[in-house]
Amino acid sequence: MKIKKTPFIPILIVWIILAIIAGIFFLQKQIEPKTIVMIDPGHGGYDSGATGADGTTYEKDLTMEISYKIGQQIQHLDPSIKVGFTRLNDQVSWPSEVVSDLQTRIDLANKNNADFFLSIHLNSGMNPNAYGYNSFVRENDPFSQEVALHISEQLDSIGYSQDRGTQTTSNAPLMVVDQQTIPAMLFEVGFISNMNEMEQLKSPIYQNKIAHAIAQAVVDTVHAQISKQP
C-alpha cells in the first residue's frame, strides 16, 4: 500500500504568503489617515484682511504663516492625521468676490473629505489696547467646542495672551462655519491692531509656540474622539 505524502512544505509556504498578505493589509490600515484636517488661512489674494497696527502688516500674510505652521505641527504630532490647506500662498484659487471666495473654502473641505475645518484669522478693533484670542463654532458642534477648550488650555500653559471666549455662530453668523456639514471652527489668534500682540504674531518664535499649542489641541481632541469610538 502506498502512503500519500502530505505536501507539508507547499502548504507551509501558502500559509506564510497568506500571513505576509494579511500583515501588509494590517499595516496599510494602520498608516491610512484616520482623520483629515482642512486648515483655512483667512483672506488671501485680493483680500488682505485687517491691516496691522504698523500700517504695513496684513492679516492674510500672518494667517498663512501661522496656518502652515499649525499644519506642520499636527503632522509632527501625529503623522496619521492628513492635513490640507485651502491655500498655500497668496495665489488663491477663487474669484475676487466674497461669496465665491468663502464658498470655495467650504467646497475644498468637502472635496478633500475633511473631518475638521479650521479657519485661522486675526482680530482687529478700534481700541488699540484690545488683545486676546477667541473662537467661533456652531452650537451643535461638540467636537469644535472641545478643540476650543483645549486651545485655551494649551495657550494658557505657554502664557500667551488671554481667552476672550468661545462664541457660537447662532449669535455671530459666519458662512465658513455655518455652512460646513463637518465640525468647523474659526479661530481669531490675536489682535493685529494691538502693537504688542501684532509683534508676537509676526515673530517666528511665537508663531511656532502658538501653532504648536493649537496643533496639540486639535490632535488631543482627535485622539479623544477616536478613543470614544466603539
Least distance to Zn ion from the beta carbon of 214, Å?
16
| φ and ψ of 105, to 5 deg | -65, -40
C-alpha cell at 13: 509556504
> Which listed range, 23-31, 34-42, 86-94, 160-168, lies at the site for Zn ion (CB under 5 A)?
34-42
**Segment interacting with Zn ion (CB under 5 A) among 95-103, 121-129, 192-200, 201-209:** 121-129
CB 219, CB 81: distance < 8 Å: yes
Rounded Cα distance between 90 and 189, Å, is: 19
Is residue 121 within the footprint of Zn ion (CB under 5 A)? yes
Nearer to Zn ion, 42 or 52 (CB): 42
Interior CA angle at 14 toward 13 and 15, to 5°? Answer: 90
Q: Which stretch binds Zn ion (CB under 5 A): 113-121, 137-145, 198-206, 217-225?
A: 113-121
Tell me if 110 sits within 8 A of 84, measured CB to CB. no
By beta-carbon proximity to Zn ion, the closer residue of 49 and 183 is 49
Q: Which of 35, 40, 44, 49 binds Zn ion (CB under 5 A)?
A: 49
Give the residues across from 168 on adjacent strands: 137
Q: How far is the CB of 227 from Zn ion (least distance, A)?
A: 34
Give the range of 44-52, 74-82, 132-140, 159-167 binding Zn ion by CB under 5 A: 44-52
Which CB atom, from 49 or from 84, has the smaller least distance to Zn ion? Answer: 49
Return the C-alpha cell found at 128: 488699540
Which grid cell is 155?
495657550
Q: How far is the CB of 123 from Zn ion (least distance, A)?
A: 8
Cβ contact 13:31 at 8 Å: no
42 sits near Zn ion (criterion: CB under 5 A) = yes
User: Given the rule CB under 5 A, which of 39-47, 85-93, 102-110, 153-161 is the region that contacts Zn ion?
Assistant: 39-47
Residue nearest to Zn ion (CB): 121
Give the interface size with Zn ion as a residue count (CB under 5 A). 3
Residue 44 sits in the site that holds Zn ion (CB under 5 A): no
Give the Cα separation of 62 and 188 in Å (integer): 12
Does position 105 interact with Zn ion (CB under 5 A)? The reply is no
Q: Which H/E stretch holds residue 146?
A: helix 142-157
Contact between 113 and 184 under an 8 Å Cβ cutoff? The reply is no
Distance CA 199, CA 207 (A): 10
Residues binding Zn ion (CB under 5 A): 42, 49, 121
